[in-house]
Amino acid sequence: MSIFIYLGEFAFAVMILGLLLFSLFSAVEKEWRAFGRSLFVTLGFLFLNALIWMLPYTIRKIILGVFFLFLVLLFMFFIFSPKPKRRIDTKGKKRKIKVFGVQNFCEFCKKCALNCPSHAIPLGEKREENGSLRWIIDREACYEFWRKCGTDCAKCIYVCPYSKPNNLMHKIIRMANSKSTGVQKLSMKGDDFFYGTHPKEKKSLDWTK
């Protein structure tokens, strides 16, 4: 059998195994939306693979070879895409902070700001406050919203890709995120796809009505 078929099948196996692991972790965390979507994509890959095996040998060889090449190119793109800026925007003050590239991620994510019901999180650029450049929350708007709904909100924390459970999958993704802007962009899209761009609305507690 051609080497292209082995390589293509190897690439399929890696994808399917990764997705199955993700489904497993999602089920353990009771993240049913992520579980359903990852299982759906896994089945899609299995179906696609079965379809490829129905094609004539030469076409199968070409498709599997191209698929493997595509994954290699994607991998190279991640390796050589710019490293996230690892910095703390302070004005002359020294601070001991673990820097892992999340600020770089925030610059194009904005998921918390887009989901904030009180529009307390800015979508624009950082501004200076107490010697640091940061995205300044409108604390009054946030707190006013809490008072209106009778409890806290924390939607911003819930949707943040960095607040997902600290399981092996997320640890690997965060580690890759700290090394490559390309991975950050892909994992942001992955977070939107698997967990949704907006959290599911939950029923209000009776005592808040």
Residue 89 in tokens = 């925007």
Q: Is 111 in the site for ligand SF4 (CB under 6 A)?
A: yes
Contacts of 103 (CB under 8 A, 6+ apart): 85, 87, 88, 89
Question: Residue 128's beta-bridge partner residues?
Answer: 133
Among residues 46, 51, 85, 117, the one that binds ligand SF4 under rule CB under 6 A? 117
Residue 201 in tokens = 């609305």
Name the segment binding ligand SF4 (CB under 6 A); options: 36-44, 69-77, 90-98, 118-126: 118-126
- H helix runs in the chain, sequence order: 3-28, 32-52, 57-80, 102-109, 111-115, 139-149, 155-159, 168-177, 181-195
Q: Is 145 in the site for ligand SF4 (CB under 6 A)?
A: yes
Contacts of 12 (CB under 8 A, 6+ apart): 45, 49, 64, 67
Q: Is 120 in the site for ligand SF4 (CB under 6 A)?
A: yes
Q: Is 155 in the site for ligand SF4 (CB under 6 A)?
A: yes
Name the segment binding ligand SF4 (CB under 6 A); options: 1-9, 54-62, 98-106, 198-206: 98-106
Across 155-184, b (16+ Cβ under 10 Å) vs e yields bbeebbbbebeeeebbeebbeebbbbbbbb
Q: Is 154 in the site for ligand SF4 (CB under 6 A)?
A: yes
Residue 17 in tokens = 């195994």
What string marks each residue from 20 to 59 as x (binds ligand SF4 by CB under 6 A) or -? Answer: ----------------------------------------
Would you say 45 or 143 has its CB closer to ligand SF4? 143
Q: Is 116 in the site for ligand SF4 (CB under 6 A)?
A: yes
Applying CB under 6 A, which residues contact ligand SF4? 102, 105-106, 109-112, 116-118, 120-121, 137, 142, 145, 153-156, 159-162
